[in-house]
């Protein structure tokens, strides 16, 4: 059985071992329960940021809250180095994808809110359930634990270690009554960097038991299908072009095109996907009449080598083709949001260190997981110039209920949290106990895979 320390020299073996000594299942369970029990839907992360800062302060890590407005905030802490080494940021977002409120989530999430969809932790041995218990809060708890453990171990750091927790990490715009439209899409991460919370390298903790150096970005489109406003009692007597019915035709054709698009753009570790995500049109109170327009939202993922404008042109060409296949169809589209994909050098210091940690902890050669289409704040970090890798936990393998998308987000195994925390600690210690010259001495050539 591997001890997880292979490849380290003697001083770093001692430092990592000492930090690992402070990592316990009990403390991880305490941290994750504390995070889940503080609601943090996108746009309302302020109370959770305050909780994180207070928890880290109590553990001896100087932490602070960074407000974006009166409802949304980041939290971050710094362990100071002596200035001779590179600074490393361990990062995790803190907002949940859904709100945990029936008035917002039902019926779109299902007929009702299950226990795992509520911001209330339920502990069953090593399993903790509750809204965001795995993604993102389980990963944020691992970053907190790593910072606590390294601080408690008294390791002589050369570079600063920053533990950062960003608001607005979900691919979402403002919820109802939100104070700003831009409360998601990495707004907290961007604000951290703008306000000087910067590092030479970063590791983002998000799901997937692998080390990845590239990921998709995304573009959103609004597709409007036009028709005729008319009345059911006159459909056989007056011109009749039902925008709702025609929107269904367009949606089906786009779903077919997404598969073609993904096949063309699969490369590296990414396989960018697309979905028609929502539709609106007509008056629910007046079922007797048709609307003159029906509008759909589309999320189209883009690889690191596909600029948003290229994706826009491909999508518009697809809409043109649908229009040509259906004479008389009136449909138009507009790009309304764009976050570029990104990639870091797989031969760079932080990637090499994280892969070495993965292999030492796992006792085998690193397994690259391909076909990914998830986007994270790693895009914000990389596109601002911070080389970043992503590593996280696998989704739970066993539960009393069927593991669907929501439960995969909302349930975490404390044993997996411990494994990820050990990897984060080893990667951090291997980075912020070296001089900048040592870290960059064996950097790869920089070519993307």
Domain co-membership, 407 together with 397: yes
Q: What per-residue confidence (pLDDT) applies to 177?
A: 80
| 447 within domain boundaries | no
Q: What per-residue confidence (pLDDT) applies to 2?
A: 80
Residue 449 reports pLDDT greater than 50: no
Q: What is the model's pTM? A: 0.95
Q: Which of 315, 339, 363 is the last residue of a domain?
A: 339
Cα–Cα distances (Å) from 321 to 18, 259, 297, 326, 359, in that order, read: 62, 15, 18, 9, 48
| 431 within domain boundaries | yes
Domain co-membership, 39 together with 144: yes
Specify the residue for token string 């079922």: 287
Residue 365 reports pLDDT greater than 70: yes
| 449 within domain boundaries | no
Domain co-membership, 102 together with 118: yes
Q: What per-residue confidence (pLDDT) applies to 179?
A: 78
Domain co-membership, 186 together with 287: no
CB 12 within 8 A of CB 438: no
Considering its fold, how many domains does the chain have in total?
2
Domain with residue 246: its CATH number is 3.30.70.360
Q: Which of 298, 315, 339 is the last residue of a domain?
A: 339
- The band of 448, judged by pLDDT with boundaries at 50, 70 and 90, is very low
- The band of 29, judged by pLDDT with boundaries at 50, 70 and 90, is very high
Q: What per-residue confidence (pLDDT) applies to 178?
A: 78
Q: Phi-psi bin for 328: left (phi > 0), alpha (psi -120 to 50), beta?
A: left
Q: What is the mean pLDDT of the chain?
A: 95
Q: What per-residue confidence (pLDDT) applies to 152?
A: 97
| 90 within domain boundaries | yes
Domain co-membership, 228 together with 168: no
Domain co-membership, 294 together with 385: no
User: Per-residue pLDDT averaged across 34-60, rounded?
Assistant: 97
| 351 within domain boundaries | yes
Pick the residue with more confidence: 1 or 95? 95
CB 100 within 8 A of CB 119: yes
Q: What per-residue confidence (pLDDT) applies to 446?
A: 32
Residue 370 reports pLDDT greater than 80: yes
- The band of 400, judged by pLDDT with boundaries at 50, 70 and 90, is low
Q: In DSSP terms, which residues pair with 79 in a beta bridge? A: 161
Closest CA to 39 of 98, 91, 81: 98
Domain with residue 143: its CATH number is 3.40.630.10
DSSP 170-183: SS--PPTT-S-S-S
- Residue 132 sits at the vertex; the CA angle it makes with 190 and 406, to the nearest 5 degrees, is 115
Domain co-membership, 333 together with 349: no
Residue 442 reports pLDDT greater than 80: no
Domain co-membership, 49 together with 191: yes
Closest CA to 409 of 210, 168, 131, 167: 131
| 225 within domain boundaries | yes
Domain co-membership, 155 together with 284: no
**Which region among 341-355, 374-388, 397-411 has the lowest average model confidence (pLDDT)?**
397-411
Domain co-membership, 164 together with 223: no
DSSP 305-341: TS-HHHHHHHHHHHHHHHHHHSTT--EEEEEEEEE--
| 79 within domain boundaries | yes
- The band of 77, judged by pLDDT with boundaries at 50, 70 and 90, is very high
Q: What per-residue confidence (pLDDT) applies to 1?
A: 60
User: Per-residue pLDDT averaged across 314-339, rounded?
Assistant: 97
Rounded to 5 degrees, what are φ and ψ at 77? Answer: -140, 155
Tell me: the pLDDT tens digits for 195-215? 999 999 999 999 999 999 999
| 4 within domain boundaries | no
- The band of 183, judged by pLDDT with boundaries at 50, 70 and 90, is very high
Residue 443 reports pLDDT greater than 80: no
Tell me: the pLDDT tens digits for 164-180? 999 999 999 999 887 78
Q: Which of 283, 308, 339 is the last residue of a domain?
A: 339
CB 296 within 8 A of CB 222: yes
Tell me: the pLDDT tens digits for 249-276? 999 999 999 999 999 999 999 999 999 9
Domain co-membership, 269 together with 408: no
Domain coverage including residue 430: 10-215+344-440
User: Per-residue pLDDT averaged across 75-90, rounded?
Assistant: 98
Residue 424 reports pLDDT greater than 50: yes
In whole angstroms, what is the distance from residue 396 CA to residue 403 CA? 8
- The band of 444, judged by pLDDT with boundaries at 50, 70 and 90, is very low
User: Per-residue pLDDT averaged across 283-310, rounded?
Assistant: 97
Domain co-membership, 291 together with 436: no
- The band of 94, judged by pLDDT with boundaries at 50, 70 and 90, is very high
> Could you tell me whether strands 73-79 and 63-67 are parallel, antiparallel, or unpaired per DSSP bridges?
antiparallel
């Amino acid at each position: 059985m591997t001890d997880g320390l292979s490849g380290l020299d003697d001083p770093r073996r001692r430092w990592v071992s000492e930090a690992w000594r402070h990592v316990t299942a009990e403390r991880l369970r305490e941290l994750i329960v504390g995070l889940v029990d503080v609601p943090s839907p996108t746009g309302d992360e302020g109370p959770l940021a305050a909780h994180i800062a207070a928890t880290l302060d109590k553990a001896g890590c100087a932490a602070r809250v960074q407000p974006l407005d009166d409802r949304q905030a980041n939290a971050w802490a710094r362990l100071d180095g002596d200035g001779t080494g590179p600074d490393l940021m361990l990062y995790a977002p803190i907002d949940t994808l859904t709100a945990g409120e029936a008035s917002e989530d039902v019926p779109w999430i299902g007929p009702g809110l299950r226990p795992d969809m509520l911001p209330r932790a339920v502990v069953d041995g090593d399993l903790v359930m509750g809204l965001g218990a795995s993604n993102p809060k389980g990963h944020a708890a691992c970053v907190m634990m790593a910072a606590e453990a390294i601080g408690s171990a008294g390791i002589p750091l050369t570079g600063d270690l920053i533990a950062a927790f960003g608001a607005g990490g979900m691919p979402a715009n403002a919820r109802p009554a939100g104070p700003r439209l831009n409360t998601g899409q990495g707004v907290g991460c961007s604000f951290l960097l703008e306000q000087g919370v910067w590092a030479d390298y970063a590791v983002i903790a998000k799901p997937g038991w692998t080390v990845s150096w590239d990921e998709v970005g995304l573009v959103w489109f609004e597709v409007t299908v036009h028709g005729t406003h008319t009345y059911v009692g006159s459909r056989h007597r007056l011109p009749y072009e039902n925008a709702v019915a025609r929107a269904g035709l367009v949606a089906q054709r786009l779903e077919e095109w997404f598969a073609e698009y993904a096949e063309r753009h699969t490369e590296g570790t990414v396989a960018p996907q697309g979905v028609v995500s929502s539709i609106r049109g007509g008056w629910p109170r007046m079922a007797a009449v048709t609307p003159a327009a029906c509008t759909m939202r589309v999320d189209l993922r883009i690889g690191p080598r596909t600029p948003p404008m290229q994706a826009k042109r491909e999508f518009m060409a697809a809409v043109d083709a649908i229009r040509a296949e259906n004479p008389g169809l009136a449909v138009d589209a507009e790009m309304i949001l764009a976050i570029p994909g990104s990639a870091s050098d797989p031969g760079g210091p932080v990637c090499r260190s994280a892969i070495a940690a993965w292999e030492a902890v796992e006792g085998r050669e690193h397994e690259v997981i391909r076909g990914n289409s998830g986007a994270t704040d790693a895009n914000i970090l990389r596109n601002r110039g911070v080389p970043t890798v992503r590593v996280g936990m696998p989704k739970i393998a066993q539960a009393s209920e069927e593991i669907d998308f929501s439960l995969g987000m909302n349930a975490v195994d404390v044993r997996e949290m411990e494994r990820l925390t050990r990897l984060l600690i080893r990667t951090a210690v291997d980075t912020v106990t070296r001089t900048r010259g040592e870290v960059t001495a064996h950097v790869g050539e920089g070519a993307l895979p």
